[in-house]
């Protein structure tokens, strides 16, 4: 009598293998866990703000809410009446509910209203995770479509990342930008060119750095990718004509139109302060505090120079050249036609690594793209390479541990040097 065949090992996620299969078998467990994780952090943040001299709420969130209060009061300068507000007015408009606090309200109502922005940013994190799943389940040029359970495993790198969740629940708006960038990538991969143009224009207006993705997107939009027809190969004139395809022209016109329309609207509302604080300030910005940038020491020394003393070539004015050369020229030319998501990840890393200001919040920017794996690791359906390779898992763990320990130690030192921030007068 033949011995029974051993039961086949599960080939798909959730069949006896994988990391916590129940969490990834359907969307509900993963997204519910991500939301509850952020709710716990929000509640803990309220406790820490009330009981500790070291506040959980980010100082940037107080800048946002102060600027929003000036908008709600109809101040002529709008959000720019608040010193250090260097963002688009759209952000202050989105946080208007935070101004509805009043001394006559119940305490819980004031707390909930003041935390509206944190809740918005936390929900943006979850939306970004859903976009990661959508991107991974699209058939790419170099990879087949990934099955949904495996895609949710990669999305968990973002959704269950404690650094990502902490930054958003402390009041950083980076989650909103992550949604815009991931939605842009999804629109391009889905060949929704007009929508991609709208998202690109909105993203660059919201925070100028997404403009680095434009060269990669344009360079990746070959005729055989967008229309299904092979691109023409001919003379120089023919090559230029072949490059100026309808999708590329549509993307350029729509994105520039949205960008200019938003800028003209904001300029009409707030005048030159809008241009100065939203865009021009970042060209000459010097920030030698809470900074992991390679330019930190030169910027620190430059900040000590007396005003009016000529320092020759100012490093803060030329420091952006290496990052632009890498992120806008070299990386798109080398990678964009092969794999757009990997290109955007490399662009983001290059831009962040060589940025004049590199904080914990800025380091959140590549995290969303990092959850979209490159194609060089082989076919994705049924694959669990990320969780099977011990050396990769160990190295990732060591890298994350080094990053978090470095940030924690530097933050501990900063806490003992800088005074704690004040909370609203109703708190």
Weakest mean pLDDT among 116-120, 141-145, 239-243, 391-395: 391-395
In the predicted model, is pLDDT for residue 250 greater than 50? yes
The mean-pLDDT minimum among 145-154, 217-226, 382-391, 396-405 falls in 382-391
Residue range 305-323, pLDDT digits in tens = 666 555 555 666 677 788 8
Write down the pLDDT at residue 311: 54
Residue 282 or 8, more confident? 282
pLDDT band at 282, cuts 50/70/90? Answer: confident
Segment of 260-274, 337-351, 380-394 carrying the highest mean pLDDT: 260-274
Q: Mean pLDDT, to the nearest integer, of 48-54?
A: 94
The reported pTM is 0.79
Task: Report which of 58, 65, 136, 142 is spatially closest to residue 101, judged by C-alpha positions.
Answer: 65
Q: What is the pLDDT of residue 309?
A: 55
Confidence of residue 355 (pLDDT cuts 50, 70, 90): confident
């Amino acid at each position: 009598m033949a011995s029974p065949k051993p039961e086949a090992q599960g080939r798909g996620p959730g069949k006896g293998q994988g990391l916590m299969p129940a969490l990834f078998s359907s969307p509900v467990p993963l997204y519910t866990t991500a939301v509850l994780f952020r709710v716990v952090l929000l509640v803990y943040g309220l406790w820490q703000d009330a009981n500790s001299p070291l506040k959980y709420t980010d100082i940037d969130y107080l800048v946002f809410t102060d600027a929003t209060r000036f908008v709600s009061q109809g101040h002529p300068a709008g959000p720019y009446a608040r010193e250090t507000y260097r963002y688009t007015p759209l952000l202050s408009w989105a946080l208007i509910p935070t101004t509805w606090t009043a001394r006559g309200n119940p305490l819980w109502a004031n707390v909930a209203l003041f935390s509206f922005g944190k809740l918005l940013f936390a929900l943006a994190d979850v939306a970004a995770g859903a976009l990661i799943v959508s991107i991974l389940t699209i058939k790419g040029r170099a990879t087949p479509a990934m099955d949904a359970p495996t895609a949710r495993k990669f999305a968990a790198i973002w959704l269950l990342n404690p650094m990502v969740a902490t930054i958003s629940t402390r009041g950083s708006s980076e989650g909103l930008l992550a949604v815009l960038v991931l939605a842009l990538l999804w629109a391009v991969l889905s060949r929704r060119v007009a929508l991609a143009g709208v998202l690109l224009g909105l993203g660059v207006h919201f925070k100028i750095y997404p403009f680095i993705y434009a060269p990669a997107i344009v360079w990746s939009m070959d005729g055989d990718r967008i229309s299904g027809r092979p691109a023409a190969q001919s003379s120089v004139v023919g090559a230029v004509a072949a490059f100026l395809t309808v999708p590329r022209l549509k993307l350029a016109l729509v994105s520039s139109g949205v960008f200019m329309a938003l800028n003209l609207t904001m300029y009409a509302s707030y005048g030159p302060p809008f241009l100065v604080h939203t865009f021009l300030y970042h060209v000459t910005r010097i920030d030698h505090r809470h900074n992991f940038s390679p330019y930190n020491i030169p910027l620190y020394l430059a900040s000590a120079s007396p005003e009016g003393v000529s320092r020759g070539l100012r490093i803060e004015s030329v420091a952006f050249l290496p990052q632009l050369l890498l992120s806008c020229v070299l990386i798109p030319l080398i990678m964009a036609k092969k794999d757009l998501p990997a290109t955007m990840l490399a662009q983001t890393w290059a831009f962040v690594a060589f940025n004049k200001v590199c904080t914990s919040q800025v380091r959140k920017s590549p995290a969303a793209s990092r959850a979209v794996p490159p194609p060089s690791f082989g076919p994705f359906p049924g694959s669990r390479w990320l969780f099977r390779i011990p050396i990769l898992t160990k190295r990732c763990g060591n890298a994350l541990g080094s990053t978090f320990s470095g940030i924690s130690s530097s933050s501990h030192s900063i806490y003992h040097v800088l005074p704690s921030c004040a909370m609203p007068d109703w708190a």
